[in-house]
Amino acid sequence: MADIQQTTNKQHRMLKISILRFNPQDPESVPHMQTYELEESDSMTLFIALNELRDTQDPTLQFDFVCRAGICGSCAMMINGKPGLACRTLTRDLPTEFTLAPLPAFELIGDLSVNTGKWMRNMSERMETWVHMKEEEVDLRKKEVPMDPQLAEDIYVLDRCVECGCCIAGCGTVRIRPDFVGGVGINKIARFRLDPRDTRNDADYYDIVGDESGVFGCMSLLACHDFCPKELPLKTQIAFIRRKMAEQGMRGYDKVLPTQKKAIPIKPARQ
Ligand code: SF4
Ligand code: SF4
Ligand code: FES
């Protein structure tokens, strides 16, 4: 009973949320910060706060979300200057006054909404992020070749990328070179390089990431690793792929030689 009384009487903080507002579709729109006040509730996430603001104060506020569970990657934004997922950020972990802005480097749709899908699609097409098999046509009657469980687990770790764009928003190289593939792109090469079904070798991967828009453009400041909300091991993957591509550049392995699909130690990013 005393606990219930305590919860009822609990004082909630008043939040002051300053949001960068701009609608590129409206010729009258000018970028500006707009501040909203909102009473915090228990376990409030930024996603809940934004929906409450839109429902009760400003129906014109634009932002994206789909899953509310850190799976779709669509609610990424700059939270007090750092990239993060709105649905995975608790307001109690933020000060009472904070700012929200759209992710840089992506096409702005309006306010906090950006077109990460267009950027990711361009990158995926350029890097051919799919399994390249020898057979022209897949024979569905053929028995599947079982994969070593540890290798499947290692591939799964890298495959957890939700294409949220936080690594791109935090990347210094992207600001200088808009064609840079970032942590997300290099991680995808690491993922397919590990996959025994992908018949490409290091000469093929070198054609894709062996230049300054790929691994050799990376400045290794590792903001991508620090801001990845899925805690992908980007630090180890970037270092590993850069080493392999440097070897390829120096030794010039032939395209016909298969690449050894050696697993690299994959640990959770924050360890
Ligand atoms: S690597 Fe991490 S930060 Fe980058 S897009 Fe994937 S999940 Fe997001
Ligand atoms: S380590 Fe490389 S990919 Fe990651 S943020 Fe820095 S420059 Fe970008
Ligand atoms: S709404 Fe899907 S990751 Fe946040």
pLDDT digit string, tens, across residues 15-68: 999 999 999 999 999 999 999 999 999 999 999 999 999 999 999 999 999 999
Asked if residue 267 belongs to a domain, the reply is no
pLDDT value at residue 133: 85
Atom 5 of ligand 1, residue of closest alpha carbon: 163
- 259: confidence class by pLDDT, cuts 50, 70, 90: low
For residues 82 and 178, state if they share a domain: no
The two tokens of residue 181 are: 């593939």
Range of the domain at 60: 14-114
Q: What is the mean pLDDT of residues 167-175?
A: 96
* Chain centre to alpha carbon of residue 181: 12
Asked if residue 25 belongs to a domain, the reply is yes
Which residues does 85 contact at the CB level (< 8 Å), separation at least 6?
A: 70, 73, 75, 76, 164, 166, 229
pLDDT tens per residue across span 194-228: 999 999 999 999 999 999 999 999 999 999 999 99
Which atom of ligand 1 is found nearest the CA of 166?
A: 3
Is 34's C-beta closer than 6 angstroms to any atom of ligand 2?
no
Contact 192, 159 (CB under 8 A): no
pLDDT value at residue 256: 58
Is 245's C-beta closer than 6 angstroms to any atom of ligand 1?
no
The pTM score is 0.90
E-strand stretches of 105-187: 107-110, 113-115
Query: Can you tell me whether residue 37 is helix, strand or coil?
Result: strand
Is 83's C-beta closer than 6 angstroms to any atom of ligand 2?
no
pLDDT for residue 1 is more than 70:
no
For residues 231 and 125, state if they share a domain: yes
For residues 191 and 243, state if they share a domain: yes
Query: Which residue among 164, 174, 226 has the greatest number of ligand 1 atoms within 8 angstroms of its CB, and so is best to mutate?
Result: 164
Residue scoring higher pLDDT (145 or 17): 17
The two tokens of residue 155 are: 């591939």
Rounded to the nearest angstrom, the distance between the alpha carbon of 215 and the centre of ligand 2 is 9
- Tokens 């928003």 map to which residue? 169
Length of the chain: 271
